[in-house]
Structures are given as structure tokens and as C-alpha cells.
Amino acid sequence: MNENDPGVVRRLLVVDDEPIVGKRLHQVFTKIGFEIETYTDSATALVAIAERPFDVVVTDLKMEGIDGIEVLKRVRRQNPATQVIIITGYASPDTAELAQQEGVFAFLAKPFRLDELKQVIFRAIETQARGK
């Protein structure tokens, strides 16, 4: 899959307590054919995840209340096929290792380049399509 594929609409959920992140990603991914939902509150995002499936979830690591590792754990329980990408300004080897143990698809440090995130999301969808 690449961003020009006219096939199935992909569902993306973004949870980041910085509203600008969700707003920017919403603009970019809507233009390339994704259905995207953005949340600044992880508890509300988890309600959405429980109600409907997403192909990919992009979550910030450090947030008030429920952090990105807990979002990852709950997504993996709800829908193991959903790929989870964690973005963070607080990357550490311990956190990255914990995320790997919980089944994260990718771990990106902020600030990330938009094209880098797009590539990771498309790889996650390709991996999901192969059933891995």
C-alpha cells in the first residue's frame, strides 16, 4: 500500500494531549483518504477504540491520566490486529523496551518528521494486511 492506493479506507486514531498534533495529522491523513479521529484525552480515545476498530492508533506516551503504554495495552486487548505507534518527547531505553514487550509497532521520538510518520503508518498497514 502507498498513499496513492484507491482501495479500502483505512481508519486511524490519534491521541495526543497537544491539540496541534491531532489537528495537523487530521489535515494530512484526511487528504490522502484516511478516516481519522483525534483525541486530546486518552480516556475518551479508549471509549472510541472500544466502540469501533481502527487499523492504526498513534498515541503520545506522556499524557495526564492514562498514558501511552496503557493505551497500547488496552488496544492490544481490544483488537490485536490494530497496529500501535507511540510518539514521545520523553524517549528512554526502558520505555521503548516496555513498549516492545507490549507489542508496539513503532516508537518515534518527537519532534518527528511528518513523512517519517506517514512511512511508519503505511508500513503498519502493510504488516497488518499480511497478518503479522
- Number of separate domains in the chain: 1
- Residue 2 belongs to a domain: no
- Residues near 39 by beta carbon (within 8 Å), at least 6 away in sequence: 13, 14, 15, 22, 45, 48
Residue 43's domain is classified under what CATH number? Answer: 3.40.50.2300
- Residue 97 belongs to a domain: yes
- Residue 3 belongs to a domain: no
Range of the domain at 25: 11-129
What local confidence, expressed as pLDDT, does residue 93 receive?
79
- Residue 1 belongs to a domain: no
Residues of the chain with pLDDT under 50: 1-4, 6
DSSP letter for each residue of 44-72: HHHHHHHHS--SEEEEESS-SSS-HHHHH
- Residue 4 belongs to a domain: no
